[in-house]
Chains A and B, each alone.
With several copies, the nearest count.
Chain A
Amino acid sequence: MQQQDTPRIQSTPLSLDVLLAHTERADCGALAIFAGTVRDHHEGRAVRSLTYSSYARVAEKLIRDIEAEIAARFAVPVCRAVHRVGALGIGETAILAIARGAHRAETFAAMQALVEAVKHRVPIWKEEFYADGSSAFVNGCTLVAAEDLPPAESRLHCTPTQSIES
């Protein structure tokens, strides 16, 4: 079955079955999957729901670029990530990432690299809504090009534990 090119940013619930069906390969003995789901707590606070938003024009292109880059780096035929946007309840899936390869070592490595890259390099934002009625955007990784960052900072200098209350 041919791989199908489907949106990487999706406002409807993510389906692992659909993702698997769209990426079937008889030559791949290993399939690694990551699903990031909405937790009921973050930094010790009770979370009721999340809202994800993205800048889809960049995100759709960047996810495809990242998939191609990682597929080439790890020599795996299939790398695919899809991210949900909109309001999500506890337990709903925010991100699905899969890799299919001939063997498991490179397939694990590709899947992990894919998840890290999508989390750190793609314009997607998360606003958490807490049990006490407040909400906050979770602060993360800057997308500012290295050349434009102050010397002390770097792209990898993420602060996912810090929230901007709004």
Chain B
Amino acid sequence: MSSGPSPCITWVDERVQVTVECCGVASRIAGAEHLAVVLPEAATVLDLFEVLAERSTEMAELLARCACARGDAIVPRGTQLADGDELALLPPVAGG
């Protein structure tokens, strides 16, 4: 985890800090493979997405089609985040 401000970190002066791995095209659009985000207590995935959407219009458009993973599971938008959560942004998939 990063120890100070950087272009990859959005500082919000509250209590829940999460890391976000940007997968596939999300890393290009976000301009980083990993983001650290601090959110208000009791923040949800939706709150996280709203913060991330401020990065760019392209990011906002992508987020509408991104799932969010925590650990080894995909979690709904309403999921409440906990401090230290390791999240991933999963854009639309195209395996095979």
Across-interface contacts of B29 in A (CB, < 8 A): 166
Least CB distance from A56 to B in Å reads 9
Contact A57 B72 (CB under 8 A): yes
Least CB distance from A163 to B in Å reads 10
For the residues of B in contact with A, the DSSP-based class is loop
Instruction: Report how far A127 CA is from B81 CA in the complex, Å.
Output: 31
Q: Is A164 an interface residue when CB atoms closer than 8 A count as contact?
A: yes
Chain A interface residue bracket vs B: 35 or more
Q: Is B69 an interface residue when CB atoms closer than 8 A count as contact?
A: yes
Contact residue among B69, B74, B94 (Cβ-Cβ distance under 8 Å from A140): B94
Q: Is A1 an interface residue when CB atoms closer than 8 A count as contact?
A: no
Least CB distance from B81 to A in Å reads 15
Q: Is B73 an interface residue when CB atoms closer than 8 A count as contact?
A: yes
Q: Total interface residues on B, using CB and 8 Å? A: 25
Across-interface contacts of B66 in A (CB, < 8 A): 142-144
Instruction: Report how far A115 CA is from B96 CA in the complex, Å.
Output: 8
Instruction: Report how far A151 CA is from B23 CA in the complex, Å.
Output: 25
Least CB distance from B34 to A in Å reads 13
Contact B65 A142 (CB under 8 A): yes
The 4 closest A-B pairs by CB, nearest first: A140-B94, A125-B24, A124-B95, A143-B67
Residues of B within 8 A of A (CB): 21, 23-25, 28-29, 64-67, 69, 71-74, 76-77, 88, 90-96
Known: A83-B96, A139-B92, A143-B93. 4 other contacts (CB 8 A): A52-B95, A121-B93, A142-B67, A160-B94
Residues of A within 8 A of B (CB): 36, 52-55, 57-58, 60-61, 83, 94-95, 104, 115, 118-127, 137-145, 147-148, 150, 158-160, 164, 166
